Structure 1
Amino acid sequence: MVNQTSFYKKDLITMLNADEEDQIILFKKSKEITDSLIGNKVHLRGLIEYSNVCIKDCLYCGIQKSNKNTQRYTLSDEEVIQCALYALEHNYGSIAIQSGERTDPLFISKITHLLKGIKKLSNGKLGITLSLGEQTLETYKEWFDAGAHRYLLRIETSNRALYSKIHPNNDLHNFDKRLEALQNIRKAGFQLGTGVMIGLPHQTIGNLADDLLFLKALDVDMVGMGPYIEHFETPLFEARHLLKTPQERLDLTFKMIASLRIIMKDINIVAATALQAIDKIGREKAIRYGANILMPNITPGNFRNNYKLYQDKPCTDENANDCNTCIDARMSMIGSKIGYNEWGDSKHFTNLKV
C-alpha cells in the first residue's frame, strides 16, 4: 500500500491503524522518500515566542484570553532583534515568529517594523516564518512585502463539527474564516503552512485520514502537527477522560507524519516541540519518520514559562544556548545533518515555481 501513487480515505485509515509490524514498513517508506527527495538534512527555524497576548478563546489553549492565571507579556523590539541576531550568529538560516492572535493596527505595524529591521540587520540572510493567526489579505501582503515569506496557520482539525467542539461558537472562531485566511495567505505570496492536533477528544481515525486528504487538497507547502496535550486551565480539560494515552497520541502522530510524507513527498514537515513533552527524543523519532524541520526555542528564558499552550512544555527552564548546544548531538544520534545558513524552503513550493 505504501508504494501506491494515489491514496483514498480507506488507505489512510489502514496506514493510521498500522500495528507494530506494519509500522516498520510505513516508517521505512517515509524515510526513504525523505532521503531521496528532501535529503538527509534538517533545517532550523529559531523560534521567537513574541507575545502571549491573545484575543481568542480556543478551548484547548493555555494562553486563551480567558485564562486569568497567565502572566501576559510582549517582547520589546530590542529583545526580538537580539533573538534574530542570535539566530544569525549561530547560522540558523531562518527564524519563526509566533504569537497569540491580535489584529489591532498597533500589533500589525509593530510586526511590519520588526520584519524590516530583521531583514536589514541580516542583510536579507535570515529567512522568516510567521505564525500570527488570522489576518486580512491586506495585512498578509504587508508582512510579505516587509520580508516574511512563510506563514503557518494551523487549522487544528479539518472537520467542521469537531472544530466547533474545540472553539467557542462565535464569529471570532469561525471555521469558514479560518479557511478563507489560509487562501489569503497563499494569495499574499507566502509559502503556505497549516497543521492539525492529533488525539483530540471526540476525534476519530477517520477524522485524521480526512485531515491528511485536506492537506493534500489544499496543496500546502509545509505542515506543523503534533499530539494534543491537555492544559488543566482550559475548558477542554474537562473532556480528558475521552483521551487516548499520551503514548497512543504520540504513536498516532508518528504515523500521521509518515503517512503525510508518503502522500505529499516534497513538503516541509516540522518535528513539533510537543512531541518532546511526551518522549524526550520524540522530535528525533519524528525526523526518522519523515519530518525535516526543527524549531529550537530562542525566546529569552524568562518569558518561556508564560507561553504554555499545553502542559509539560519542554525547555521552559532553558535559554537559547542550552537548546543550541544539543542540536548537533541530537541530530548526529540519528544520522542527520543540520542545514546551517540555509533557508530550507519547501521543495514543494520551489518546484512549483520552476
Structure 2
Amino acid sequence: MTSGSDKYFVCGANSVSSVIEELKTTCTLSDSQLLNILSTDKYDQELFSAADEVRRSVYGDRVFIRGLIEITNYCRNDCYYCGIRRSNEQAERYRLSADEIFSCCQEGYALGFRTFVLQGGEDAQCTDEFICGVTARLHDAFPDCAITLSLGERPESSYRAMYSSGARRYLLRHETADFAHYAKLHPSSMSLENRMKCLSALKKIGFQTGDGFMTGAPFQTAHHIVKDIRFMQALSPDMIGIGPFIHHRTTPFAHCPDGTLSLTLRLIAILRLIFPKALIPSTTALATLCPEGRILGLKAGANVVMPNLSPRTVRKKYELYENKAHGGMESAQELDALKKAVKEAGYKIVVDKGDRAGF
C-alpha cells in the first residue's frame, strides 16, 4: 500500500484552475477531470475558496450544530476497520437507557441544540420497540427539534416504523461504492448491495438521508473515490459525511496508514461544489487528525458540526478509531469555545434545526 497523495497521482493533468471554475458553475466533471483534481494539493486554496463561496450563496455564514448521542457500542458486525467490531474483546461495552438518552437531550436543548443524533452499533437490543419509543418520547418533548438516527442496516419496515415515530433524518454511509473494495473492508456476511438497498429505502420513505465514505481507506484508489461520487450523484443525499480512515489497534488494519487531512478537506470542497445544498459536517475524525481540523473543514465548505452530548462516562468507550477526540470543542459542554472559534473563522453557530436547503 502507498500513502499520502502519491497513490492518487494521475499524469497529464489539465489546468486544475479551469476545472475548478467549471465545477463551480456546472456542479459536474468528467471522470478524468475528477482524477486530475484529486491528484494534487497545489490548487487546494483555490478549491476551498470556491467551495466557501458556494456554501455562502446557499447557507450564508450559518453553521448548524447537532448534539451527538452515542447510545450503544455493541455491534453485530465485524467490519475490519472499526474499533467496536463484534470480535473486539477488549472493548468495554455499554448501552444507554431510554432515560439516559432523554437526559442527554434535555441538557442539549438547554444548551441550544435543535437536532439530536442517536448513533450506535448494530445492537440486537436496539429493537424497533425501543428506538421508536425513545424517538416518540423525544418528538413529544421537543417538537421544535429534529431527530436523526444512525443505527446501521435495518429492514425497510424498521425504517418506516422509525419515521412514523418522529425521526426525520437517517445517516448511513456506503463507505465504498466499489464491490471488490467493499469486500476487502467487510466480512462476507455484509454486502454493498444491501447497504445500497437500505439507502434507497430511506430515500423512498422520505427521510433526509445522509451518505458518505472514508477517505484514505486501505486499498482505496482515486478510481474508487470517483465511483463514490458517482454513486452519490445517483442517490442525491441530503447530508454527506466523509472522514479520514484512522486505524484502531485491535483491527486487522491496525498497521495501515491513516487517511490524510489534505485529501479529506479537498473532497469536502469538491462535494460542496457538486452538491451545493447538501449538509456537510466537519467531523470529529478531522479534529482527531489535527486540533484545527474542525475549523479547516468549515473553511473547505462544511456547514455542520456535531459536538458530543453522550454521558462523559461512556465517551471513551465509543472508540471507532484510535485516539478519537471527545473533549474540548468536541464536547457539547464546551459549546461557547466552539462558538468563539467558529466566529473567529468567519462563521456563526445558529440555533436551528438546520434542514437541507429546499427540502
> TM-score normalized by structure 2?
0.90
Question: Counterpart in 1 of 2:138?
Answer: 118
- 1:202 counterpart residue number: 219
Q: TM-score, normalised by structure 1?
A: 0.92
Cα distance 1:42–1:321, how it changes in 2: closer, same or farther (>3 A)? closer
335, 339, 343: which one pairs with 2:353? Answer: 343
1:308 is aligned, of 298, 312, 319, to 319
Q: 1:95 aligns with which of 116, 119, 127?
A: 116
Corresponding position of 2:32: 10
Cα deviation, 1:214-251, whole Å, max 9, x if unaligned, reads: 2112111111110000001011225x1xx3x65xx110
C-alpha distance in 2 between matches for 1:322 and 1:143: 28
**In structure 2, how many angstroms separate the alpha carbons of the residues matched to 1:39 and 1:216?**
24
The code of the aligned residue for 2:63 comes to: V
Deviation at 1:269, TM superposition (A): 0.5
- Tell me what 2:204 maps to: 187
Structure 1 contact 298–319 (Cα < 8 Å) conserved = no
Do structure 1's residue 291 and structure 2's residue 302 form an aligned pair? yes
**Shift in Å at residue 102 of structure 1?**
3.0
Structure 1 residue 135 and structure 2 residue 146: aligned? no
Superposition map of 1:324-343 within 5 A = 324-340=335-351, 342-343=352-353
Summarize deviations over 1:302-336 as a string: whole Å, max 9, x none. 00111000001012589955432322112112011
- Could you say what secondary structure the match of 2:147 adopts? strand
Q: 1:76 aligns to what?
A: 97
How far apart in 2 are the matches of 1:188 and 1:297?
28
Q: Distance in 2 between matches of 1:103 and 1:180?
A: 20
Q: Distance in 2 between matches of 1:251 and 1:133?
A: 28
| Secondary structure class of the residue paired with 1:89 | helix
Task: Give 1:139-158 correspondences, 5 Å limit.
Answer: 139-158=158-177
Structure 1: unaligned runs, 5 residues or longer: none
Runs (4+) of structure 1 moved beyond 6 Å?
A: none
Change (3 A) 1:318 1:327: closer
Provide the aligned C-alpha RMSD in A: 1.6
> SS of the counterpart of 2:127?
helix
Report the Cα offset of residue 175 of structure 1.
1.1
Quick check: 45-54 or 212-221, which moved more?
A: 212-221
C-alpha separation in 1, matches of 2:333 and 2:136: 28
Give distance in 2, aligned partners of 1:343 and 1:319. 19
CA distance in 1, matches of 2:44, 2:289: 19
> What letter is aligned with 1:287?
L
Question: What letter is aligned with 1:347?
Answer: A
Give distance in 2, aligned partners of 1:295 and 1:36: 22
| Residue identity matched to 2:29 | F
Q: Give 1:147 deviation, angstroms.
A: 0.8
